[in-house]
Amino acid sequence: MISSGIRRSIPIVPLVLLLAQVSHADNVVVPGERVGAVKLGATLAQVRALLGSPTKTTKWKSGETQDSFMGTKPPVDEYGSEKYPRRNLVVIYRAGKVVQIEFNSPAFRTSKGISLKSSLQDFRRAYGSPKAQALAMLDEGGGGYVAYYYDSVANGIAFSFGTQDYFDATITPVELRIHKRGAKVLPDPGGKPQKAGEEVPIGTINKGAG
């Protein structure tokens, strides 16, 4: 799920046991197929046999089931803010089978080198021109942000993040989402579609400052 921790960098930290279980064979992401050992098309029972019980299970109004497997809470700084996003792996099922896998661990990467450290520019170089989708969202604190999904439909991978401001193609994702090739990414529920108009050319943000 996209959070409103909007443009924070994600440092590499030791993976929690849960994500180590997922990646015991490898850390490879194959768009349109799998994230480590978790595969599209697997049953709910197969995923839970691999990962154990989810931290949280949510039923979507559209009929999908979402299992969230959360890592341990990260340490906080002197102001009480988390030093980095909590690691999570989200698995979405339709009719009892996996249709989408979402992750925010920088340990995983595709054969083309795309990971949580990659920029939108890197993503485009690897997977062509993704389709952009923007949804207005409310966060848990009552504030708002815009969730963006840059979806390479043909390859089965989407680059997602939240923003409250303009951004350029140097932005990095909050999550990467793997789905069936030829199918569209499933966005977080509850969003209101809007025009995807916040992206600006590289070099134009804060131009002339300092």
Domain boundaries, the chain: 17-194
What's the burial of 98, exposed, middle or buried (CB within 10 Å: 0-12/13-18/19+)?
Answer: buried
Backbone Cα Rg of the chain:
17
Q: What is the pLDDT of residues 178-197, one digit of tens each?
A: 999 999 999 999 999 999 99
- Dihedral sign of CA atoms 17, 171, 65, 144 in order: positive
- Per the rule left: phi > 0, alpha: psi between -120 and 50, beta: everything else, 203 is left
Write down the mean pLDDT value for the chain.
86
- What was the pLDDT predicted at 94? 99
Assign 9 a pLDDT band (cuts: 50, 70, 90).
Answer: very low
Which range has the worst mean pLDDT, 12-16, 27-31, 129-133? 12-16
Residue pointed to by tokens 């994500």: 19
What pLDDT, on a 0 to 100 scale, did the predictor assign at position 139? 77
Residue 11 has pLDDT above 50, yes or no: no
Question: SS3 for 181?
Answer: coil
Total Cβ atoms within 10 A of residue 116: 21
The tokens of 47 are what? 């995923």
Higher pLDDT, 36 or 26: 36
